[in-house]
Amino acid sequence: MRYALRKVGLFALTLWAAVTLNFLLPRMMPGSPADAAIARLSQNGPVTDETRAAVEAQLGVPDGNILQQYLAYLDQVIHLDFGISYAFYPEPVSGLVATALPYTIVLVGTVTVIAFILGTLLGVLAAWRRGTWLDALPTVGGSFMNTFPYFWTSLLLLFFLGYVAHLFPTFGAYSATAVPGISWDFFVDILYHAALPAVTLLITSLGGWIIGMRNAMINTLGEDYVTFAEANGIGGRTVALRYAARNAILPNLTGFGLALGGVVGGSILVEQVFGYPGIGFLLFNAVIGQDYPLMQALFLMITVSVLVANLLVDILYGVLDPRTRR
Amino acid sequence: MTSNHPAQQAGPSGAGPSDVGPPEADPSDVEEILSLQDVSVVYEPVGAAPTHAVRGVSAQIARGEFVGLVGESGSGKSTLGFAITGLATAPARIEKGRILFRGRDIASMDQDSLRSQRQGGFAMVLQSGMNALNPVRTIRKHFHDIFAAHRHVPRARREERAAELVGKVSLGPEVLDLYPDQLSGGMRQRVTIALALSLEPQLMVFDEPTTALDVMVQHAVMDTIRDLQASEGFTAILISHDLGIVLESAQRVLVMHDGEIVEDAASADILHRPRHEYTRMLLSHYADPRAEVVTLPGLEDRAVLRSDDPSDASAENPASSSPEPADPSAEPPDPSAARSAPAAPAAPPAPAASSDGASSRRAPVSRLRSGGTELRLQGVSKVYPAARRSGRAVRAVDDVSFTLEPGGATALVGQSGSGKSTIAKLITGIERPSEGTVHLGDTSVGDLGRSGLRDLRRTVQMVFQDPYAALNPLNTVEYTLARAVMNLTDVRRDGARRRVRELLETVGLTPVEQFTGKLPHQLSGGQRQRVVIARALACDPQVIIADEPVSMLDVSLRAGVLSLLRDLRESIGVSLLYITHDLLSARLITDRILVLHDGKVVESGPTARVMRAPQDDYTISLLDAIPNPRRVLTP
């Protein structure tokens, strides 16, 4: 319990630092959004003072000293008020993020969890049956699939299964004709559209989990406590799972934490290729459209989700490994 | 499932033809529990040549016997132990022969029947009990896993049985709630013994059960094993590299060398009438540090100034070469007088032949010439602050004072945690003393800055315990030594190359050409440790701190490294601080000794006097913890 409290305290401190950095960094950059907009306008001709004042009024120029700005910013963060998007004017940033987030969490989050569980199980099996086909198939297959760049995999799947064979849709999160809402039809439609991007992500991330777990498990299989458990006649399944795999999974959890934290950042390329309206897609458009409020909100959210994922994994680690509690 | 039926114990009737074992010392009609018949084990690593670790071993072990299996590293003793307990796994393979346990061949048994044999059959306690427990399971769960696997203890009795078992190894039931990392090394090894015992085995194999433990703990754990063997009545096989431990416990000893059993005899016969030269060689490396005269082959006691022919000593039993081990309490301490008497300067300076020795031992000629640096510790303490607010500060070194004269040799002796390694860190400037001063000549080590510490490396060098870890496996001997020469001296290019050759000659790695291009893994443990010593000598230091330099080496290699360390004092006049828990080697190569306990010096003085007439209780208990077969076996 002391361990968990310590971790939460550390989390709060890091969170504050991240939020503050997110406030400071844009202010340390030279220029401002208004300057960028005016620079673009000036390509077409001279910019009058009235135009400049208008642009600044529209984008909002910070007032008050830096401390007042900081307090106002904190107040906005707490109320999840990140202003109005430039690229999707006049949509509020929070609304845009709220719409995109579920898609990404469902797609990337589910795939990450499935890939971790499936890859770990296959890795355990490969190490336990080392040297048999149960080892060779996932290991060789996993490293083979890992060598594919995922945008290439996604293009291949899109072309053959989507464009040529017409088995799957090639764009979007749901059909143009579907009625968004809580209904069975819409749910099936969502799954149907998520299939190709999900398979792409699964194919490219599975191999890493298999190989990581296999190698960790082969190491723990050589540990004395495994030999001693066998010498005591403890059954194979217990030795494999509770002695070898149970210890081998610990270092992999850290990797899982990082992967989970990355979920909210989305998968920019995959979402872009499949036209999937998740966070990655949004971030891409924010960068293209120099949409500072949207970018700032997205960066903050990505940072926070990495921190939260790490906190969860840290606490889980404490539960699973008694040594970290002391 | 039928395996632990008494009917099965009838003997090797169904398993094989007429079972003629080799003649034994006591061929009475005791029942054989284990019979090894021409067993060979081969290692077949993928992509490497196979190694025959055990070759055609035959032996019989009777029910209730306590048998020792002794050999140096690479002798195949652990491989045989794993084969006996059915744990030989790839790349090891039982090539031929039969291992009959109560008449049934283990070698050809499938995994399931093997597993059922483990309850009420054979059990094993592994070498490093430290790692034999699953770090994420409590001790209770370890017991319950075994009970669940064999179902030989009814569910309602399991908790009670687990408490009873830890009680048998002198632990309280509260350890059941703990995780392995909450136990000390000795407690962990006790728990593994209790776990093995929970199988109610008829045969227990102990593979180096105390090697990773401290001397005092070692002694206590061995006592527990002996008591249990007597009370529980299991048959025991004790595998060890330490003939002393084995002779003290076992009734019969099998001596293994190069995969073969070269001698199989009762312990008393091994000790007093060894037949094989390898057994004699092993025995020759044991001596009682309390004896009036202590010799090892190539390392004769320096009190004896008239050694006859040390090169021949390897073939003889120290029991015959030295006067009978005297009772230290009965005799007045007097060899110190003989020791300190400067008898040697009268003798003509002998050429530095390492095997010969006694004549010119005294005067560290070259260092006297160059002046030399004295190492002086005055009231040194080191306190490590508490790791956490709830913890307590640790006083690792407490008011230690001593002086190491130029060319002198002092031993720091104590069990782990006694502060001896912290003292080494204080002298090398890795740590700064909390109180007191460490002086090297006029330099106060504790006050040195970064560049001062770099200069200190030229004066003080260390030799570490593990020569495997102390050498970069990717660098040749020449590269390793040349780096040391160039880092610490101004010698470059051809000069550095010449210096490397000189160093190799100094440490006895000749012909030099054979060693310069070698990588660490191509050298034996003793050779590797010589390279480490050569590296320490690269800058011609004044003080060498050797931290357990021989504890990882086989006994037959120890004497060579020890005599090298001792001879360096005469040949180049370096002074030696020898950190060890091994009192015998301390007796052989040092003049003075400091016994440390909980950071304090509890006793100090001339080495021979302290060993022969120890005053402090702790020193006495350290000396008593040394395995002493003669104490048990001499009528």
Interchain contact, B136 vs A228, CB within 8 Å: no
CB contacts of B117 in chain A (<8 Å) are 233
- B32 vs B100: CA distance, rounded Å: 9
B45 interface with A at CB cutoff 8 Å? no
Task: Quote the CA–CA distance of A277 and A293 in Å, as a whole number.
Answer: 19
Q: Is-contact B99 B105, C-beta < 8 A?
A: yes
Is B282:B75 a contact under the CB 8 Å cutoff?
A: no
- A242 neighbourhood in chain B, CB within 8 Å: 134, 137, 145
Rounded to whole angstroms, the Cα distance separating A40 from A75 reads 32
Residue of A nearest to B113 (CA): A233
Nearest-CA distance B96 → chain A (Å): 22
**pLDDT over 70 (residue A257):** yes
Furthest C-alpha separation in chain B: 81
Given A225, A233, A250, which is nearest B134 (Cβ)? A225
* Alpha-carbon gap: A326 to the closest alpha carbon of chain B (Å): 10
CA distance to partner chain A, nearest, from residue B197 (Å): 10
Kindly determine whether residue A232 and residue B134, on different chains, have CB atoms separated by under 8 Å: no
Cβ within 8 Å, pair A233-B116: yes
A65 falls in which pLDDT band (50, 70, 90)?
confident
Cβ–Cβ below 8 Å for B127 and A224: yes
- Residues 6 or more apart from B545 whose CB is under 8 A from it? B424, B427, B428, B460, B461, B462, B463, B577, B579
- Measure in Å the smallest separation between the Cα of B198 and chain A Cα atoms: 9
* Residue ranges in chain B modelled with pLDDT below 50: 1-29, 303-369
Measured distance CA(A224)–CA(B195) in Å, rounded: 14
Task: Please report the pLDDT score of residue B364 as a whole number.
Answer: 38
A175: closest CA of chain B, how far (Å)? 50
What is the distance between the alpha carbons of residues B511 and B38, in angstroms, rounded to a whole number? 41
Residue among A225, A234, A323 whose CB faces B133 most closely = A225
**Where does residue B232 rank: exposed (0-12), middle (13-18), buried (19+ CB within 10 A)?**
middle
Say how many C-beta atoms besides its own lie within 10 A of residue A5's C-beta.
9
Query: Model-level pTM greater than 0.90?
Result: no
d(CA B2, CA B113): 9
> Contact at 8 Å (CB) between B135 and B180?
yes
| Residue contact B118–A232, C-beta within 8 A | yes
| pLDDT at res. B296 | 78
Segment A204-219 shows an average pLDDT of 91
Which residues of chain B are within 8 Å of residue A230 when distances are taken between CB atoms? Answer: 87
Contact A235 B115 (CB under 8 A): yes
A200 contacts A159 by C-beta, under 8 angstroms: no
- Tell me whether residues A231 and B134 touch, CB distance under 8 A: no
A250 interaction partners in chain B (CB closer than 8 Å)? 136
d(CA B318, CA B579): 25
DSSP assigned state of A84: B
Question: Taking CB atoms and an 8 Å limit, are B132 and A225 in contact across chains?
Answer: yes
Cβ within 8 Å, pair A225-B181: no
With 60 as the cut, is the pLDDT of residue A54 above it?
A: yes
B246 touches chain A (CB under 8 A): no
For residues A240 and A57, the model is more confident at A240
Strand order in the sheet with B575-580: B460-463, B543-547, B575-580, B409-413, B592-597, B600-606
Of A228, A238, A250, nearest to B126 by CB-CB distance is: A228
Q: Does B128 touch chain A (CB under 8 A)?
A: yes
Strands B235-240 and B203-207: parallel
Cβ <8 Å between A322 and B134: no
Using CB atoms, which residue from B115, B131, B135 is nearest to A233?
Answer: B115
Nearest residue, CB atoms, B146 vs list A234, A243, A326:
A234
Spatial separation of the C-alpha atoms in residues B526 and B454, rounded to whole Å: 29
Yes or no: say if B464 and B470 are a contact pair by the CB < 8 Å rule. Answer: yes
Task: Please indicate whether, in this complex, the C-beta atoms of B145 and A247 are within 8 angstroms of each other.
Answer: no
CB distance B135–A225 less than 8 Å? Answer: yes
Could you read off the pLDDT of A73-102 as tens digits, one per residue?
Answer: 888 888 888 888 877 877 888 899 998 888
Nearest residue, CB atoms, A246 vs list B85, B136, B192: B136
Residue B463 belongs to what H/E stretch? strand B460-463
φ/ψ of B32, rounded to 5, equals -80, 130
pLDDT for res B371:
59
Q: Which of A34-38, A66-70, B48-52 has the lowest mean pLDDT?
A: A34-38
Give whole-number Cα distances, B17 to B10, B55, B103, B108, in Å: 15, 22, 11, 16
Residue B127's SS3 state is coil
pLDDT of amino acid B9: 39
Q: What is the pLDDT of residue B367?
A: 40
Q: The complex's ipTM?
A: 0.79
**A64 in Cβ contact with A58 (< 8 Å):** no
Query: A123: pLDDT confidence band, cut at 50, 70 and 90?
Result: very high
Best of B145, B179, B193 to mutate (most A CBs within 10 Å, chain A): B145
Residue B125 in contact with residue B207, Cβ under 8 Å?
yes
Distance in Å from the first CA to the final CA of chain A: 11
Q: Domain B29-128+202-281: which topology?
A: Rossmann fold (3.40.50)
CA distance A37 to A33: 6
| pLDDT (0 to 100) of residue A245 | 93
Q: For residue B231, with 0-12 CB atoms within 10 Å meaning exposed, 13-18 middle and 19 or more buried, which class applies? A: exposed
More confident residue, A7 or A178: A7
pLDDT attached to residue A116: 94
Q: How far is CA B277 from CA B257, B263, B283, B496, in A?
A: 11, 10, 10, 43
Tell me how close the Cα of A242 comes to any Cα of chain B, in angstroms. 9
> Distance (Å) from the C-alpha of residue B154 to the closest C-alpha of chain A?
17
Cross-chain CB nearest to A320 (options B136, B196, B198)? B136
B331 close contact with A: CB closer than 8 A: no
Establish if B178 touches chain A: CB-CB under 8 angstroms: no
- The tokens for A176 are 């143009």
Work out the minimum CA distance from A229 to partner chain B, whole angstroms: 8
d(CA B59, CA A75): 83
Residue A251 pLDDT greater than 90, yes or no: no
Residues 6+ apart with CB under 8 A from A191: none
Which pLDDT band, with edges at 50, 70 and 90, does A215 fall under? Answer: very high
The reply to whether residue A229 touches residue B119, judged by beta carbons under 8 angstroms, is no
Contact between A233 and B124 using a beta-carbon 8 Å cutoff: no
> In chain B, which residues fall in CATH 3.40.50.300?
29-128+202-281
Report the residue of chain A nearest B142, measured CA to CA: A229
